[in-house]
């Protein structure tokens, strides 16, 4: 499988790192290009990737063409590579926010297999969560090949495109919110005498384990809370204090604000 990235910003690099670490691809099968030579050539050299001299060259060299540019230049880039994609022999994968399957088909034509994706940054450590939506030209083995890119660096969920905004808040932005929660736990540990490094390791590992428990259990999170919260115990006291301070309301309001901002609404 030859995969090419047009654009090598933070998310593209996270995907590439995840794929290389998972050995889904070898470096020589990854081709990259971006509009700034200083961005992609040193990066390609440092990781053994193929540095192409144009977006068209990336598309020509790849079975899977990943569009990883900013939304303001996505249309121009797609117009540039349309002739290469028009035969339908290559799969277009987009990680561009706000660019729908219909938008892309209007530019490259109805014959191109397209997978729209919204990955989160945790793909870098093979723990990503990616929303996917395929057009009707991407089926069978071609679809499986495209999904494999993201299933080997995390999990995928098939969503209607109108739900991508909600997904972005829950999975795309939430790593920052979860990191904020871990840091808050860590600071509480420092308050009571732990070093920041000790407290952060403890809080992060506890968060990781809790997430793993939720994913592997057939119980809802609240049932798992009840397993830890003994009657009259310290955990119940802590939960009640957090609720009194408005933890759940704060989380929901944060998601509301994220969705509104993504939709261009006032927060």
> DSSP states of 222-241 as a string?
HHHHHHH--TTSHHHHHHHH
CA–CA distances in Å: residue 182 to residues 179, 185, 188, 228: 5, 5, 10, 19
Q: What is the mean pLDDT of the chain?
A: 96
Quickly count: other Cβ atoms within 10 Å of residue 226's Cβ.
13
Q: What is the pLDDT of residue 119?
A: 96
pLDDT mean over 243-263: 94
Q: What is the pLDDT of residue 37?
A: 81
Residue whose tokens read 């995840």: 18
pTM for this model (two decimals): 0.89
Percent of the chain with pLDDT over 70: 100
Q: What is the pLDDT of residues 30-75, one digit of tens each?
A: 999 998 888 899 999 999 999 999 999 999 999 999 999 999 999 9
> Which residues neighbour 244 within 8 Å (Cβ) at sequence distance 6 or greater?
none
> Which residues neighbour 159 within 8 Å (Cβ) at sequence distance 6 or greater?
131, 132, 133, 167
Q: Does domain 172-262 have CATH number 1.10.3730.10?
A: yes
Q: In the chain, which segments carry CATH 1.10.3730.10?
A: 172-262
Question: Are the C-beta atoms of 24 and 152 separated by less than 8 Å?
Answer: yes
Question: Are the C-beta atoms of 19 and 153 separated by less than 8 Å?
Answer: yes
Domain spanning 3-164 has what CATH number? Answer: 3.40.50.720
**Pairwise CA distance, residues 34 & 124, whole Å:** 20
Quickly count: other Cβ atoms within 10 Å of residue 257's Cβ.
14
Q: What is the pLDDT of residues 192-237, one digit of tens each?
A: 999 999 999 999 999 999 999 999 999 999 999 999 999 999 999 9
Question: Are the C-beta atoms of 90 and 59 separated by less than 8 Å?
Answer: yes
The two tokens of residue 153 are 């660096």
Q: What is the pLDDT of residue 36?
A: 84
Cα 84–Cα 87–Cα 88 angle in degrees, nearest 5: 105
**Pairwise CA distance, residues 233 & 227, whole Å:** 12
Q: What is the pLDDT of residues 81-94, one digit of tens each?
A: 999 999 999 999 99
Q: What is the pLDDT of residues 139-164, one digit of tens each?
A: 999 999 999 999 999 999 999 999 99
The two tokens of residue 45 are 């050299």
**Pairwise CA distance, residues 193 & 148, whole Å:** 45
The two tokens of residue 240 are 């009640």
Where helices occur in the chain by DSSP H, the ranges are: 10-21, 37-47, 55-61, 71-85, 101-108, 140-151, 164-167, 174-191, 196-216, 221-228, 234-244, 247-262
**Pairwise CA distance, residues 121 & 96, whole Å:** 14
- Sheet containing strand 30-33, strands side by side: 50-51, 30-33, 3-6, 64-67, 91-94, 114-119, 128-134, 154-158
Please check the confidence at residue 13 and state whether its pLDDT lies above 90: yes
Q: In the chain, which segments carry CATH 3.40.50.720?
A: 3-164
């Amino acid at each position: 499988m030859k995969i090419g990235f047009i654009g090598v910003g933070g998310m593209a690099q996270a995907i590439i790192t995840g794929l290389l670490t998972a050995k889904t691809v070898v470096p020589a099968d990854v081709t990259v290009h971006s509009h700034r030579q200083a961005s992609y050539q040193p990066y390609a050299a440092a990781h053994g990737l193929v540095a192409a001299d144009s977006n068209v060259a990336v598309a020509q060299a790849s079975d899977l063409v990943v569009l990883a540019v900013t939304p303001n230049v996505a249309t121009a880039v797609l117009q540039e590579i349309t002739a290469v994609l028009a035969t339908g022999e290559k799969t277009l994968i987009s990680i561009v926010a706000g660019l729908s399957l219909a938008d892309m088909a209007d530019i490259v034509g109805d014959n191109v297999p397209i997978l729209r994706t919204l990955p989160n940054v945790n793909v870098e450590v093979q723990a990503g969560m990616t929303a996917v939506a395929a057009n009707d030209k991407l089926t069978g083995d071609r679809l499986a090949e495209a999904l494999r890119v993201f299933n080997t660096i995390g999990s995928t969920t098939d969503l209607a495109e109108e739900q991508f905004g909600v997904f972005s808040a829950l999975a795309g932005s939430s790593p920052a919110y979860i990191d904020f929660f871990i840091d808050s736990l860590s600071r509480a540990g420092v308050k009571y005498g732990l070093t920041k490094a000790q407290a952060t390791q403890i809080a992060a590992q506890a968060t990781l384990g809790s997430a793993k428990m939720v994913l592997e259990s057939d119980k809802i999170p609240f049932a798992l809370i009840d397993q830890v919260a003994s009657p009259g115990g310290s955990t119940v006291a802590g939960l009640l204090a957090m609720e009194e301070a408005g933890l759940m309301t704060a989380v929901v309001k944060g998601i509301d604000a994220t969705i509104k901002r993504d939709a261009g609404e006032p927060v």
